[in-house]
Amino acid sequence: MGWRPDGKVLAIAYSCGRIQLVGVENKKILNIQDIKANITCLTWVQEKLEPPPKDNFNFKDGKPNNYMKHIDMSRLYLRDPTLSSVLNSSQSEDQKEAYFLQEQTELNLLLIGE
């Protein structure tokens, strides 16, 4: 088991090859993947940002690191039937947005090994 660094998703892997992503706030299964491997380890990793320098001579671009702002990775890598069955039409748009990566400013990866 492994927590996503923001604490909103728990990844659970079974030795038979099944991986489940569970939303912590509402206990809903966000995704189920079955892979043909004997899973022995699982961990989330996160991009580490450098702290801003403390001097006044910072010539780097002052734009925030928001390259993940409008990317919905679930549409690219998660199976639509599983996601659509979890996110039914009775949920509000605000609840659906919680499952996407728009509020994240750092890159998170789920690493799975055998």
Comparison of pLDDT for 49 and 100, the residue scoring more: 49
User: Whose CA is closest to 100, among 77, 80, 76, 71?
Assistant: 71
Confidence (pTM): 0.56
**56 in a structural domain:** no
Mind listing the pLDDT tens digit for each residue in 30-53? 889 998 889 999 999 888 777 666
Phi first, then psi: what are they for 102, rounded to 5°? -65, -30
Say how far apart CA 2 and CA 45 lie, in whole Å.
Answer: 10
Complete DSSP assignment for the chain: -EE-TTSSEEEEE-TTSEEEEEETTT--EEEEEE-SS---EEEEEEPPPPPPPSSS---S------TTTT--HHHHHS-HHHHHHHS-TTS-HHHHHTTSSTT--S-EEEEEE-
In the predicted structure, residue 12 carries a pLDDT above the cut 70: yes
Indicate the pLDDT class of residue 103, thresholds 50, 70 and 90: low
**26 in a structural domain:** yes
- Give the domain range for residue 6: 2-45+62-113
**50 in a structural domain:** no
**17 in a structural domain:** yes
Give the count of domains, the chain: 1
In the predicted structure, residue 95 carries a pLDDT above the cut 90: no
Q: Say if CB 11 and CB 78 are below 8 A apart.
A: no
**15 in a structural domain:** yes
How much is the mean pLDDT over the chain? 71
In the predicted structure, residue 79 carries a pLDDT above the cut 60: no
Give the rounded distance of the alpha carbon of 95 from its chain centre: 15
Q: Give Cβ neighbours of residue 63 (< 8 Å, ≥ 6 apart).
A: none
